[in-house]
A = this chain, B = another copy of it.
Amino acid sequence: MSSYERTCLIRGDGGRAIRGILDRIGDKWTLLVVATLDGERMRFTELQQRIPGISQRMLTRTVRQLERDGLVERQVFAEVPPRVEYALTDTGRTLIKPAVALAEWAIEQNPAIERSQDDYDARQG
């Protein structure tokens, strides 16, 4: 299968597949939460501490959507004070590989991209 044929996976159905996944992981925190949970079950507060800058509200929302999508499992313990643990599901773990591929791309290409931006900005205003 050629690269050109494979991009039909992206364009297919008017781009609804790509749109769906970007709605899911294209936001500010989702991939970071998934990556942080990789290989480790974790409590809410610990998760928050490991993701610098995330607000309580956004962590709650992010983790809730991940739970709804079935990528993260949420386990509540009937204790006082409450204890809630999060972990990736099997489905959630399958996201790691393509996400890492994307991060690798970002790290590899970043120098070239920044150079291009500087050139562009120098040519324009």
The answer to whether A70 touches B113, judged by C-beta atoms less than 8 angstroms apart, is: yes
Q: Is the interface of A mostly helix, strand, loop or mixed?
A: helix
The answer to whether A14 touches B53, judged by C-beta atoms less than 8 angstroms apart, is: yes
Q: Per a CB cutoff under 8 Å, which of B31, B95, B104 touches A105?
A: B95
Q: Per a CB cutoff under 8 Å, which of B2, B6, B50, B102 touches A21?
A: B102
* Contacts known (A94-B109, A98-B104); A52 close to B14, Cβ less than 8 A: yes
Copies of this chain? 2
Contact residues of A between 23 and 67, Cβ < 8 Å to B: 24, 26-28, 31-32, 34-36, 38-39, 50-53, 67
**A113-B51 Cα distance, complex, nearest whole Å:** 25
The answer to whether A9 touches B116, judged by C-beta atoms less than 8 angstroms apart, is: no
Q: Per a CB cutoff under 8 Å, which of B2, B19, B68, B116 touches A116?
A: B68
Other 12 A-B pairs with CB < 8 A, given A7-B35, A98-B98? A3-B100, A6-B100, A7-B100, A10-B31, A10-B32, A10-B100, A22-B26, A70-B113, A91-B113, A94-B105, A94-B109, A97-B101
List of 7 A-B pairs having minimum Cβ-Cβ separation, nearest first: A70-B116, A26-B26, A21-B106, A10-B35, A4-B39, A7-B35, A7-B38
